[in-house]
Amino acid sequence: MSTMTQTLPDTRTARRAMIDSQLRTSGVNEEYVLARMLAVPREDFLPAEKAAQAYIDRAVSLGEGGHLASPLFYGKLLLEAAPAPETRVLVVSGGTGYLAALIAPLAGSVTEVTAAEAAALQGAGEYDLVVVDGAIEQLPEGLAAALAENGRIVTGLVLRQVTRLASGRKIAGTVSLQPLEDLGIPVLAAFAAPKRWTFA
């Protein structure tokens, strides 16, 4: 109990510093985003030996394709996603559960799947919003099908070897992703595009 009393103020101070030095300085100032980022301790989603890296300004790799992305990525993603109390959200996890924890109180319902599960989805318009905890090279048909008509997706996107935050909307059964801004985002191998033949 005494250990918990000593560590909680320290991590909350770290989260406030993260908000002031990483989010606000990059244009993330909306109160609902900052409130969620302050409320959820990032270290709770890391193994004990990596907890000290929880508030650095870049992704923490967890091996086997897992990661905790940078605070700025989650702040920008939440800002763009803007889930509402009636929103049905599908979260494609980066391997920690952190993104789902951020979104859960803001949305009507949250379903979390792994990247491998998302790549093999057989959806039928069940979700109003899909958020992806990482960058993808291509959007699997099953994940697009899981979106309801006029539903939205917010994700990282790999374009010409640069990762960008991107968003899209399903219109007439088709989802088109529009890049928003360059941002350092861990790449999800499960969403890699097929390799093409090249000639030396």
What is residue 6's predicted lDDT score, i.e. its pLDDT? 40
DSSP 8-state secondary structure symbol assigned to residue 72: H
C-alpha–C-alpha distance, residues 35 and 13, integer Å: 14
Q: Specify the CATH number for the domain of residue 6.
A: 3.40.50.150
Q: Is residue 45 part of a domain?
A: yes
Residue 169 confidence (pLDDT): 97
pLDDT at 196: 56
**Number of CB atoms found within 10 A of residue 49's CB:** 7
Q: Residue 127: inside a domain, yes or no?
A: yes
* Spatial CA neighbour of 72 closest among 18, 131, 16, 17: 18
Count CB-CB contacts under 10 A for residue 65. 17
Q: Rounded mean pLDDT of 181-197? A: 85
Residue 197 domain-assigned (yes or no)? no
> What is the bridge-based pairing of β-strands 88-92 and 127-136?
parallel
Structural domain span for residue 102: 2-191
In a domain, 182, yes or no: yes
The answer to the question of residue 196 being in a domain is: no
Domain count, the chain: 1
Percent of the chain clearing pLDDT 90 (strictly above): 79
Residue 143 belongs to a domain: yes
Asked whether residue 170 is domain-assigned, the answer is: yes
For residue 198, being part of any structural domain is answered with: no
Q: pLDDT by residue (tens digit) across 37-73?
A: 999 999 999 999 999 999 999 999 998 779 999 999 9
Q: What is the mean pLDDT of residues 20-24?
A: 97
